[in-house]
Chains A and B, each alone.
Chain A
């Protein structure tokens, strides 16, 4: 079959039965905009709840360390919410060249496979570090009953790391191939 015949064959594909009317498209756009507004509102509510929780920690705090934990918790959650919003609704050029767009999306997936997602919760690290410090100083010694849980937890992390590395290798190969196409 000649190339032109295949093009004609492709362009002669039957149209899908369901067609999208202008009203339907308007409805879809409105639904998308509602989702954006809802996500913003949901994050605001989450921030408010976290603020209340952190405020409660501050009120009940009986020493400087607990007050510091309350402040770090509130600040950390606010940071996580801001990063989450930017991740879910990133500023982008809708008509970015398709090859560059695909490369950027693959790079984001590769970064996540390499553990970049940790950046999302990084604003909470100071709170977590202080929490661990408090636990270790106020409850010294490792409880034997938690050993099994710890081993299972470490095995799960090990498995996740191996899977992420396999995924990263495949993504890297795709990115390298795209780079050659974009550069040559």
Chain B
């Protein structure tokens, strides 16, 4: 339970990054907590508790995305701007606040890019991201660079909150 209490807010954010639909997100949160509870009996200290929790949560969320992807087309970091920007940026800026835009951008990403972006936004460093994902240090460095570029591009339109 300590893990759920300590990482609860981060797991909430993770679920929001993976699922836009409120009902499906509730299911995802329940699945993550169920998996976490079941898995902790097998926690063997081969990695830190944080790494273990993030691995279980991202694995459960990846399964959820693959199961419920439906007709949503997911894109890589390189294509995110064309999808998230919309036809009328000014109107869009009026209607949506920066958090919603950030969420929308994340929810459109392919699972691999989404994992990295979420871990980056949770302020994990490259070594910690590598532990959670198993990706090489070089690949993570390149991807983080692209994440920063994509975020900068999306949120460069002046103002503190991106407006």
Contact = CB atoms under 8 A, between A and B. Distances in A.
Nearest to B58: A98
A171 to B, nearest CB: 10
B132 A98 contact: yes
Interface string A4-47: 01110111110110111010011011001000000000000000
A9 B102 contact: yes
B55 A20 contact: no
B99 to A, nearest CB: 6
Contacts of B122: 7, 10-11
- Indicate the member of A3, A22, A94, A98 with the most B CB atoms within 10 Å: A98
Nearest to B51: A95
B62 A25 contact: no
Interface residues of B, number: 62
Q: Which of A3, A28, A97 has the most CB of B within 10 A?
A: A97
A184 B4 CA distance: 34
Interface string B38-82: 110011000100011011101100110010000000001000000
A177 interface: yes
B102 A22 contact: no
B9 A105 contact: no
Nearest to A93: B42
A182 to B, nearest CB: 6
Contacts of A1: 98, 151-152, 155-156, 160-162
B66 A13 contact: no
A179 B55 CA distance: 18
Contact of B151 (A6, A19, A180): A6
A174 B22 CA distance: 27
Interface string A95-109: 111111110011001
B123 to A, nearest CB: 5
A178 B30 contact: no
A32 B27 CA distance: 13
Give 3 nearest A-B pairs by CB, closest first. Answer: A97-B134, A94-B39, A98-B58
Interface of B: 1, 4, 8-9, 12-13, 15-16, 25-26, 29-30, 33-35, 37-39, 42-43, 47, 51-52, 54-56, 58-59, 62-63, 66, 76, 98-99, 102-103, 110-112, 115, 120-123, 131-136, 138-139, 142-143, 148, 151-152, 155-156, 160-162
28 contacts: A1-B98, A3-B152, A9-B99, A9-B161, A10-B99, A11-B122, A13-B103, A16-B12, A18-B26, A25-B1, A25-B4, A28-B34, A28-B37, A32-B34, A94-B59, A95-B43, A95-B52, A96-B59, A97-B132, A98-B55, A98-B132, A99-B135, A100-B134, A101-B55, A101-B58, A177-B112, A182-B136, A184-B139
